[in-house]
Amino acid sequence: MEPIPDLSLSVLVTREEYSEAAAQHRRAAGKRQGAVFYAVGAVLAALGIAGAFFGSYISLSFSAAFSVIVLGVFLACYNGVFAPLFSSAAAAREYDRNEDLRFATTYRFLADAVQVKNGRMEGTLPFSALSDWTETPSLFLLTFGRECRFAIPKRLMDGGQAEQLRSRLPKKP
């Protein structure tokens, strides 16, 4: 078996690039909740409509029924309309807050670790310390603990480098 050649990249991630990928990652993580919000919203909207027409029988005012309808519509539309806006804003705030993302960084991927060097830090992080990694259409997001997150744009990779990096990262459960 021949040794894996080193993979080295020099990276400076833009705010838009990071925000788009991180927002997509957040939306993918929250997709399971979308069905729950949709179902609860539909039930509340139906109850609110019933309360608007038959509220006098259960002592429900029209304004209370209208409020339940508005809440139901908000919950039903949350995952498709409001969640992407909130995810994009949260990703932009995360980029602004994390100075490491705004530094030009050199990554050297070894067989079992990544060497990182930028204006604030320099060292080798083993893949065993990798707490999470995600691949979006434009980036690889690598997370080491709570504070150390790296974004590797695929636009900097040629040929099979993306596949090479994917093969070095630990398999997801």
Structural domains present in the chain: 7-13+100-168 (2.30.29), 17-97 (no CATH)
Q: Exposed (0-12), middle (13-18) or buried (19+): which is 24, by Cβ within 10 Å? A: buried
DSSP code, position 120: S
Q: What is the pTM of this model?
A: 0.61
Give pLDDT tens digits for 78-99. 877 787 788 888 888 888 887 7
CA 140/CA 138 separation, integer angstroms: 7
pLDDT at site 70:
92
Give pLDDT tens digits for 110-127. 888 888 888 888 889 888
pLDDT bin (cut points 50, 70, 90) of residue 33 is: low
Q: Which residues contact 101 (CB under 8 A, 6 or more apart)?
A: 13, 18, 95, 149, 151
CA 45/CA 72 separation, integer angstroms: 4
State mean pLDDT over 37-66: 85
Nearest residue to 98 (alpha-carbon basis) of 39, 150, 152, 20:
150
pLDDT bin (cut points 50, 70, 90) of residue 2 is: very low
Distance of CA 81 to the CA centre of its chain: 16
